[in-house]
Amino acid sequence: MKVALVSPYDWHTPGGVNNHVAHLARELRSRGHEVHVIAPASRPVDDAFVHTIGRPIPVAASGSVVRIPLNPRLGKRVNALLTELQFDVVHVHEPLMPVLPIQVLRNSRAANSRVVNVGTFHATKDGGNRLYAYGQRLLKRWFREIDGKIAVSPPAAQYVSRYFPGFYNIIPNGIDIDHWADPHHEPIAAFEGTFNILYAGRAEKRKGLGTLLRAFGVVNARVPDTRLIVVGPDSRERRRYEAMVERSGQRGVIFVPEQPYGKLPRYHRTAQVFCSPALGNESQGYVLLEAMAAGLPVVASNIDGYASVITHGVDGLLVRPKDTMALADALTTLVRDPGLRAKLAAQGRVKVDEFSWPRVGQQVESYYERLLNQRDSTDASRGRRLATRE
């Protein structure tokens, strides 16, 4: 099977969709398929199977910044590539994002009339989507080009189906469990000897870091031998939080620069609890899966995307979003109860197996095969009807 995986985002900017595409490509190749990636890139990519089309620029979206190309003249290059490589399956991630995914859907059948188009919808958001709402009539044209629709979680399916009704096959984001569970990751020696709570991610308002900082102040007052480690990329919002902590004299909060993928598990190995108090707009909760794979008990906010991964009291603790005291109480409970930490961590490790890449890759592969079989059956039926008429 010859497969194209399409990402709308700058291939050089780490993120959930790009990570998913890279790991899915690796998994499908391990199953004997020829897999190519099509994505924009801010600089050249030294990989013969990654085809870069479009130069991304930063665009504000949903409380974050995405890096996508906005050049509407990408169609010729897209058509030329698809015509040259003649894919069996073109799998577009966030297929209604401008501009590259729509150009791929626009040109895929012109390049190969028998291609199967698959779209995976990753996002969810509290409230509406202005792109979908205002562009619904135009986007429906390209939505109809998608033969098989995937959503990474029930909340993601519910979100997109508000604008584009249909059947969405739920196939979650996969996770490289071996990477996070690898016992060779050494703890950070400088942080040992204190009870560590880990936050890993961007410092955007929607991620709830402000709530966590306030909650940790309560935890640290109750149990002074505690520390909050914040790992993530630099940004104006993060610097604002750092300045706030410094001005207030808050104890036990350490800000660590963003860490490469290979080193981040060391911080999980250093911590005793992982916390993600996001306020919303999370489709699945990939950071929770990483922590669970690393063997950490998780405290997270009770939002749809996180609740699709965690069952409260079974494999993690869920608290009301924006509720500082509820978050502080849940963290304090885990600080003081090693038995509960061990129980939640063990159940979390069992749960995360559902999201392993071999399992997710098998689901995606089976879906491709089902769609290809449906195409062949439809072609055969059409051929029989034509033969009967003749």
241: domain CATH number is 3.40.50.2000
Same domain flag for 268 and 339: yes
Give the three-state DSSP class for 69: coil
The per-residue pLDDT for 284 is 81
Same domain flag for 323 and 336: yes
Same domain flag for 79 and 164: yes
Q: Splitting the chain (390 residues) into consecutive groups of 10 residues, what average pLDDT does each group show?
A: 97 90 97 98 96 93 80 95 98 95 97 97 77 84 96 92 94 95 95 97 92 98 98 94 96 96 96 96 88 98 93 97 98 98 98 96 98 87 58
The per-residue pLDDT for 389 is 56
The answer to whether the CB of 68 falls within 8 A of the CB of 100 is yes
Same domain flag for 158 and 181: no
Model pTM? 0.87
Same domain flag for 165 and 199: no
Same domain flag for 342 and 380: no
The answer to whether the CB of 228 falls within 8 A of the CB of 147 is no
The per-residue pLDDT for 62 is 60
Q: List beta partners, residue 89.
A: 3, 116
The per-residue pLDDT for 66 is 87
The per-residue pLDDT for 388 is 59
Same domain flag for 225 and 362: no
Specify the number of domains making up the chain.
Answer: 2
Same domain flag for 337 and 236: yes
Q: How far apart are the first and last CA of the chain?
A: 34
The per-residue pLDDT for 382 is 62
Q: List beta partners, residue 276.
A: 300
**How far, in Å, CA of 214 to CA of 241, rounded?**
11
CA distances from 8 to 11, 12, 52, 138, 326 (A): 9, 12, 11, 18, 38
- For residues 229-239, b (16+ Cβ closer than 10 Å) or e, as one string? bbbbeeeeebe
For 77, the domain range is: 2-174+357-389
CA distances from 54 to 75, 85, 94, 185 (A): 10, 18, 16, 37
256 upstream amide cis, omega within 30 of 0? no
Location of structure tokens 């190309």: 69
Q: What angle do CA 161, 368, 20 make, to 5 degrees?
A: 70
Same domain flag for 11 and 84: yes
Same domain flag for 10 and 119: yes
- 236-248 and 209-222 helices cross at what angle (nearest 10)? 30
Same domain flag for 85 and 21: yes
Instruction: Determine which helix (DSSP H) or strand (DSSP E) holds 270, and give its type and residue range.
Output: helix 264-270
Q: How far is it between the farthest Cα atoms of the chain?
A: 86
Same domain flag for 32 and 142: yes
